[in-house]
Amino acid sequence: MAYKEHVKILEAGVRVWNQWRASDPAISPDLSGLHFTKRNLSGINFRMCDLRQCIFNETDLRQAHFQKAYLHSASFIKSDIRDTNFSQADLTMVKFVDTVLDGCIFSNAVLNEVDFSNRIMKQFDFSGANLYRALFKSCDLTKSTFRQAYLGEADFFMANLSQVDLRGANLSGANLSNAFLKDALLEGAIITNTNFNGAFLSPRQKLSLWFPIFPIK
């Protein structure tokens, strides 16, 4: 349950909230379960906040800060979250339906079972993220990075993974069937029970996966 004093400060506006957060950055505000539908919260500092099951539908969250926030089962349907930082946040089962995601940072975040299907997500940063059973079906992920990410049972069916960095990623049980992996970096990737049926892989990529010789640099 959200803490009433924290809610009261937030109701005073983004500027007042951010000033309060700057004065005591170690605090972890509890705003769990609140509804922020159709609000303008661009640039807000939600670092380390408890935002479980919060509703951010149709909300302006451009350039917001969610680093290390707890967002389990939150909803961002039809929201604008361009250039927002979610690094190290827990986004398990978050809903990103018709959400504008351009420029978001997801490095070292937890994104278990999140559905990103049918999106254009070029040059996104998922390095070190936990993406267990995440869905990327038919996504264009050109030049994105998943280096050292956990992608167990993730689904990349028919995804465009050209020039994607998957070095050191754990792809155990992942589905890459019919994925396009032209110039993708796969050195050191773990491919136990990974499905590559129909995937585009160059001879060099196949060698780096099944006959690894060189360490990751």
- Residue 203 confidence (pLDDT): 78
Check pLDDT > 80 for residue 157: yes
Number of CB atoms found within 10 A of residue 16's CB: 12
Q: Does the model's pTM come out above 0.85?
A: yes
For residues 133 and 173, give the distance between their C-alpha atoms in angstroms, rounded to a whole number. 9
Q: 148: closest CA among 164, 170, 163?
A: 170
Q: 193: closest CA among 216, 176, 169, 217?
A: 176
Q: Which domains does the chain have, with CATH numbers?
A: 1-105 (2.160.20.80), 113-216 (2.160.20.80)
Structure confidence at residue 216 as a pLDDT band (50, 70, 90): very low
Residues 36-62: what's their mean pLDDT?
A: 97
